[in-house]
Structure 1
Amino acid sequence: MTTTKSNAMLGASSTDPIAMMRSVFAFVVVAFAFTQCVPAIAQSDVGSGKRRGVLIEFKEDINPLSGALLKRKFEAAVESDADVIILDIQSPGGSTSVTLELMDMVLEAKDVETVAYIEKDAYSGAAMLAISTDTILMRPDARMGDAGEIVEGADGAYRYTSAKRRSALAQKVRDTAEATGRPLALAEKMTDKDMVVYQATNKESGEKRYLSDKDLASREDADQWELSPPIREAGKEMFFTVNGRRGVELGMVDQTIESRDDLAKVLNLQEPIVEMERSWTDTLVFLLNSQFVTFLLLLIGLVTLAIELSAPGIGIGGLTSVLCFGLFFWARFLGGTSGWLEVVLFLMGILFIAAEVFVIPGFGVAGISGLALSLGALVMASRRFALPENEIQWTSLATDMMTVMGAFLGFLVCLAVMAKYLGDIPGLSRLTLRPQVMVAADGGASATLVSGPAWQRVEVGDTGSAMSPLRPSGKVQFGDDAVDVVTEGDYIDPGTEVRVVGKQGARVTVRKV
């Protein structure tokens, strides 16, 4: 059995602008994947009357990221006009919500035959995905089944989900089996350990079918069916699990084959079969979605953003920050957990913080709101559910929050170091703009160029003259230096004498003399 979890988030309306933007983005992604697949298909053996097949490997647990990548490949295969799409499945299962989405994706595929090829094991959600295909091919000793849904309790022990959730899952499996022509009772038995399945024979017509004790209890003609002993793999206190040979005998599997090399012959496909392998894009997306890399992206992005805000202008800090956050959201887009809403909220948060730094003195509503929006957007970008509904989702949410908050705390530490040593650390000091100032040496006999940010040479108590209107930000002349300053909120005319009353890093606060 494999831990599964649910998804409480519903899809956006098709008339929602954000949903439309997401659709455009999805189209671009599918088009990119399609361009990778088409050249290989074009090289296939054509003109032989055989069908064109595309094989997609799925050999990992079912989670939002792996599900999104499988969807991208499947959509690309459908767009390529392939006749047969083969899912090479080897998975322990995983998220229930993602599994249901993948099942619907396969069931709704039009004008294409879907095939599940199981070489080793397909358990839990992977077995449910397999029965949603038109054809199941297995090696004789491969295994499929065991799709009971469990959750982890507060004490760390795993328990079965509520009867309501189990009933909904069982009905989904029955509907899927009916759509693909497989025994309903055996399919349901994969999700229900309490029921017992028999092979039943109608006493009048001789018809044979698989019926469970629940089926018989609900039938008016139950007495017309003669029951065999319970199916060995479908007895009490067990989830239905079969190997390839037994699956063929029971009608759950269409055929056994010895290896993947037999797929073309059995399915009448052109050779070689086009294989959509994991691309460098997929590998990069998996890497960028890992917890450690996410932490680094956020930490570096926040630190370089602070550097850019301390010395405005598109420099190394700004470009690095854009790259880090761009990679973060790009990976979440392709991973299926982020949309344009999260990006918009994050950008709004950055604008609020910038307004607090350059326009509104102090640290008030704008700064707090911007911080909340930015951090909230980063957490939302990793979630597929609106609100957590079970222990697994709460644990997942806590992990994502710890990653984001850990990066933010690391940023605060770096900020404290930067505020004190930025101008003295070799290399790092070059990230800020430094005006060159003429300073006389040896009694004025010669002059040398001395570089350094002007705000570092300004101290509390220094006086200067406003070069521009201060409302409340502007420039003040302190000797030979022109320094960006802010007032305490007052408007000050050009030419007015001001005094420095506060200094925090590159932020210089002045007051009218």
Structure 2
Amino acid sequence: MTRLIYNLFVQRNVLNLRWPAGGWSARPLRSLCLLLATLVLAGWQEAPDEPPVAVAGSRQADLVVVITIEGPISSLTSYSVQRRIRRAAEAGADAIVLDINSEGGELGAVLDISQAVKNSPVPNTVAWVHPKAYSGGAIIALAAKEIVISPAAQMGDAFPITGVIDRQHMGIRALTADERTKLLPPLLAEVVDSARRNGYDEYLVQAIVIDGIELWLVEEEGTGRRFAVNEDEYRAIFGRDPDRPKPEFASVPGARGGVKGEAGEEQAGPAESKATDFQPAAPELADLARAVNDRLYGGIDSARPRFDASQAGRWKDLGYLTDGSAPIVMSAEQMQELGFASAVISNDEELKRFFGATRLVRSDQSWSETASGFLSQNMVRFVLIAVFLLALFIEMSSPGLILPGTVALCAGFLLIAPPMIIGMANWWEIGAIGVGLLFILMEIFVLPGFGIFGVIGLIALFAGLVGTFIPNDGLIPDQPGDTARALQGVVVILGGLLTAGIGMYFVSRHFQSLPLLGRLVLQDRPGEDEELSLTEMLGSDPAAGVSVGDEGVAITKLKPVGKAEFGDRIVDVMADLRFIDNGQRVRVVSVDANRVVVEPIDGAEGLHE
């Protein structure tokens, strides 16, 4: 094309750009325009196309759905991710990308998400560490078929920790021996299964979730295969003690110590282990081997060779990886070097080219899930419980106010709806809360004085509320983290009850003087034939000057509470079993510090309305 332009416009003098005496002629102007147009066309035709990217057939995807996992991982996150995986499959996605930027969260939720990724209807799954996947985020990333990373990505440190509240301090701590036995086997089984499925090193993934694992990196001569080995394996293949220079992964002086297996705890395994058996990266994990094997559901053989004397001379030492002072955290370069990362991806366009995709769609958490997440926070639930109980007390104390009842209904709905949406409330929790409220109302209005209905109601209400903090897998907490959730629920509910109790006392003492509530209640004069609220009738000493057997006259309707006159004293009383009309004679049947209970006399039947 360039040669053609030269021949046309230079050698053949098509342009004729000489300056004539009379100025420019039309011919050279037309020729100049023709030249410019031809040059532009030539540049467009000769611009090289972007070279096509070679994509493996198992990775190629036309439609890619990106599911974001941002921030703390909770039961709500698990519910949301599983919902979005199903939606992606229904939309015909060819690949699912988990865009992870998380520092971890609840162990049970993390394991649920990992299982959902492995069992996804869309088998082409990729985790994008963008930019950090710590703790539970790392476990979820390992579950995907491939891992890609942002340029400054970091992944690792999935060491399980628990909260502690005692008289000395409040914070986090390492696992106790019992917690180690309960929490580590499912976690180790999960990461080892992921390593076997996706071609990661089994020892390195164990070093992500527990400390105390010291490792060296070796490479097989000829094949280039690389494995992490422990001290015993190193001695077996090199015939000497390993060197301990500065490790590849940072040493952490004074780091938290893992809970090691005690002497005598280790259970003797079979003389010849199977290829599917768990291979502990450190001798201290051998006591967990049987429990881990019971949870290795995949039945996938380990790719690790047996490192013994027969392997001598076949391997070369590539260096010291970790001294075991803390779970490892890998940088972007280390993830590539150790075979965890397939590519470095900076943005959605690069991700699209990674799959050779024509469409890329992002699937974020919905607004309702975001709202449910906010309402499911312990502090928010604490406030809702206190508001619900206090508003219910005000409404029952002065029936007909409407506003407190509406507030109680709204608080109750906001308290129950989010757990129902995210699968943390089952039928029995809702039933227990309903039965609890019903029995409390019966204690107040139908069968006052018995007490048993009030106790049953409080217990049922408390149990139902605690149940909403635990996933609906059953009545008894048995999954990792369920016990911790139940304890958190107990603390939150007790705090709400205490706060509501203080509020009830304050309201009962100052009901009429409160700016809003005082305007909602009519100021009646004592002695009129009107129903009085419970808070209006509360006094500092309701039984003053009254004893069992005293007789008097009801001066208000007792439905079931009101006032009665005994001689020259007017006393707050409560009717026993039935309502009593104004003007009926009554007899005191019981007296305690909080109330005086009366019954009708002279053959009066009382009210049944």
TM-score of the superposition, structure 1-length normalised? 0.71
Sort the Cα spacing of 1:260 and 1:402 in 2 relative to 1 into closer, same or farther, 3 A: same
Sort the Cα spacing of 1:97 and 1:455 in 2 relative to 1 into closer, same or farther, 3 A: closer
Sort the Cα spacing of 1:137 and 1:95 in 2 relative to 1 into closer, same or farther, 3 A: same
1:138 aligns to 2:224 (yes or no): no
Sort the Cα spacing of 1:488 and 1:256 in 2 relative to 1 into closer, same or farther, 3 A: same
CA distance in 2, matches of 1:451, 1:74: 65
Q: Are the counterparts in 1 of residues 532 and 562 from structure 2 also a CA contact under 8 Å? A: no
Note the 1:147-296 alignment, pairs <5 A.
147-151=158-162, 158-160=173-175, 162=177, 164=181, 165-193=183-211, 194-201=213-220, 206=223, 208-213=225-230, 216=233, 222-225=308-311, 226-229=314-317, 231-234=319-322, 236-271=324-359, 273-296=360-383
Note the 1:435-446 alignment, pairs <5 A.
none
Equivalent residue number for residue 31 of structure 1:
none
For 1:370, give the aligned amino acid: G
Cα deviations across residues 67-86 of structure 1 (Å, max 9, x unaligned)?
33333333333343322221
1:51 aligns to 2:137 (yes or no): no
Sort the Cα spacing of 1:84 and 1:157 in 2 relative to 1 into closer, same or farther, 3 A: closer
CA distance in 1, matches of 2:307, 2:592: 88
Sort the Cα spacing of 1:335 and 1:231 in 2 relative to 1 into closer, same or farther, 3 A: farther
Name which of 380, 387, 390 aligns with 1:303: 390
Q: Are the counterparts in 1 of residues 65 and 361 from structure 2 also a CA contact under 8 Å? A: yes
Per the TM alignment, residue 473 of structure 1 is displaced from its structure 2 partner at its CA by 6.2
1:380 aligns to 2:398 (yes or no): no
For 1:185, give the aligned amino acid: Y
Equivalent residue number for residue 512 of structure 1:
601
> What secondary structure sits across from 2:120 in the alignment?
coil
> What secondary structure sits across from 2:447 in the alignment?
coil
> What secondary structure sits across from 1:82 in the alignment?
coil
1:326 aligns to 2:413 (yes or no): yes
For 1:158, give the aligned amino acid: R
Equivalent residue number for residue 287 of structure 2:
none
Q: Are the counterparts in 2 of residues 140 and 243 from structure 1 also a CA contact under 8 Å? A: no
CA distance in 1, matches of 2:120, 2:478: 31
For 2:207, give the aligned amino acid: K
1:118 aligns to 2:118 (yes or no): no
Per the TM alignment, residue 99 of structure 1 is displaced from its structure 2 partner at its CA by 1.6
1:340 aligns to 2:427 (yes or no): yes
CA distance in 2, matches of 1:91, 1:109: 21
CA distance in 2, matches of 1:306, 1:115: 53
Equivalent residue number for residue 4 of structure 1:
none
Equivalent residue number for residue 445 of structure 1:
none
CA distance in 2, matches of 1:402, 1:239: 31
> What secondary structure sits across from 1:56 in the alignment?
strand
CA distance in 2, matches of 1:258, 1:396: 37
Q: Are the counterparts in 2 of residues 88 and 118 from structure 1 also a CA contact under 8 Å? A: yes
Sort the Cα spacing of 1:130 and 1:430 in 2 relative to 1 into closer, same or farther, 3 A: same
- Between 1:378-387 and 1:279-288, the stretch displaced more is 378-387
> What secondary structure sits across from 1:300 in the alignment?
helix
CA distance in 2, matches of 1:86, 1:175: 20
CA distance in 1, matches of 2:478, 2:563: 56
CA distance in 1, matches of 2:330, 2:80: 28
Equivalent residue number for residue 93 of structure 2:
82
For 1:409, give the aligned amino acid: L
Note the 1:428-439 alignment, pairs <5 A.
428-429=517-518, 431=520
Equivalent residue number for residue 416 of structure 1:
505
Per the TM alignment, residue 215 of structure 1 is displaced from its structure 2 partner at its CA by 9.3
> What secondary structure sits across from 1:55 in the alignment?
strand
1:357 aligns to 2:448 (yes or no): no
Cα deviations across residues 178-215 of structure 1 (Å, max 9, x unaligned)?
1223333332332344142433427xx84724252389
> What secondary structure sits across from 1:318 in the alignment?
helix
For 1:511, give the aligned amino acid: P
Q: Are the counterparts in 1 of residues 466 and 490 from structure 2 also a CA contact under 8 Å? A: yes
Sort the Cα spacing of 1:458 and 1:263 in 2 relative to 1 into closer, same or farther, 3 A: closer
Q: Are the counterparts in 1 of residues 66 and 362 from structure 2 also a CA contact under 8 Å? A: yes
Show structure 1 runs of 5+ residues with no match: 1-48, 440-449, 479-484
Q: Are the counterparts in 2 of residues 148 and 239 from structure 1 also a CA contact under 8 Å? A: yes
Sort the Cα spacing of 1:431 and 1:288 in 2 relative to 1 into closer, same or farther, 3 A: farther
CA distance in 1, matches of 2:109, 2:483: 17
Q: Are the counterparts in 1 of residues 576 and 597 from structure 2 also a CA contact under 8 Å? A: no
CA distance in 1, matches of 2:333, 2:123: 26
For 1:196, give the aligned amino acid: L
Per the TM alignment, residue 266 of structure 1 is displaced from its structure 2 partner at its CA by 0.9
Q: Are the counterparts in 2 of residues 149 and 161 from structure 1 also a CA contact under 8 Å? A: no
Equivalent residue number for residue 294 of structure 2:
none
CA distance in 2, matches of 1:215, 1:264: 45
Q: Are the counterparts in 2 of residues 196 and 230 from structure 1 also a CA contact under 8 Å? A: no
> What secondary structure sits across from 2:393 in the alignment?
helix
For 1:316, give the aligned amino acid: L
Q: Are the counterparts in 2 of residues 289 and 331 from structure 1 also a CA contact under 8 Å? A: yes
Supply the RMSD in Å over aligned alpha carbons: 4.4
Q: Are the counterparts in 2 of residues 288 and 331 from structure 1 also a CA contact under 8 Å? A: yes
CA distance in 2, matches of 1:358, 1:100: 48
Cα deviations across residues 205-250 of structure 1 (Å, max 9, x unaligned)?
8472425238958866733433332554455545343223332232
- The percentage of aligned residue pairs carrying the same residue is 23
Per the TM alignment, residue 336 of structure 1 is displaced from its structure 2 partner at its CA by 4.2
Cα deviations across residues 340-394 of structure 1 (Å, max 9, x unaligned)?
3211111111011011111212151110111122123223322359778999987
> What secondary structure sits across from 2:209 in the alignment?
coil
> What secondary structure sits across from 1:89 in the alignment?
strand
Per the TM alignment, residue 278 of structure 1 is displaced from its structure 2 partner at its CA by 3.7
CA distance in 1, matches of 2:506, 2:422: 35
Q: Are the counterparts in 2 of residues 53 and 84 from structure 1 also a CA contact under 8 Å? A: yes
Equivalent residue number for residue 366 of structure 1:
453
Cα deviations across residues 318-354 of structure 1 (Å, max 9, x unaligned)?
3321211110111223344332321111111101101
Sort the Cα spacing of 1:166 and 1:381 in 2 relative to 1 into closer, same or farther, 3 A: closer
CA distance in 2, matches of 1:247, 1:458: 72
TM-score of the superposition, structure 2-length normalised? 0.61
Show structure 2 runs of 5+ residues with no match: 1-59, 237-272, 274-304, 543-551, 566-572, 603-609
- Between 1:247-256 and 1:353-362, the stretch displaced more is 247-256
CA distance in 2, matches of 1:414, 1:355: 23
Question: What is the number of equivalent residue pairs in this alignment?
Answer: 439
